[in-house]
Amino acid sequence: MHEAATAQALADLVLRKADERKARRVLSVELEIGELSFLEPEQLRFWLEANFEGTIAQGAELAITLVEPLVKCGDCDYVGRIQVEEDPAYHFMLPRFTCPHCGSARLRVEKGRESTIRRIELELVGDKH
């Protein structure tokens, strides 16, 4: 259940940034989650909300966008998407992907593994809300 650990790390970062800015409240958080992170968005949302309970981020709007995988093949130079089928085993072991063009396993992931906080909207002390 890596959603719980990831949510804890993301919540800690959001709250630290809010504290640095001396925010009164966290209004919203926008996340980008790569499909190859194998994070389940609704589980991540659940754990983030749980981590935000009792903090200035409680009730913050959460927007989670999935990022499709983009790979580059080391053999045929294919650059593009790969199909990712959800498999519970991926939570315990890394899958082995192959190039959809030539079948090579020499793929470099260009995007799709990230867990990125894209934006944090804060209500600062002195803001009129």
* Domain total in the chain: 2
Query: In CATH, what number is assigned to the domain containing residue 54?
Result: 3.30.2320.50
The whole-chain average pLDDT of the chain stands at 90
**85 CA to centre of own chain:** 18
100-119, pLDDT tens digit by residue? 999 998 999 999 999 999 99
Residues belonging to the chain: 129
DSSP code for 76: T
**Whole-number pLDDT of residue 125:** 83
- The label of the residue with tokens 């709250």 reads 15
Same domain? For 102 and 119 the reply is no
pTM for this model (two decimals):
0.80
Answer yes or no: are the C-beta atoms of 31 and 47 closer than 8 Å.
no
Is it the case that residue 86 has pLDDT exceeding 70? no
62-75, pLDDT tens digit by residue? 999 999 999 999 99
Domain residues for the domain of 104 are 69-111
Task: Give the three-class secondary structure for 17.
Answer: helix
**Whole-number pLDDT of residue 40:** 92
**Whole-number pLDDT of residue 88:** 57
CA nearest to 1, candidates 31, 48, 40, 49: 40
Answer yes or no: are the C-beta atoms of 90 and 84 closer than 8 Å.
no
Same domain? For 84 and 55 the reply is no
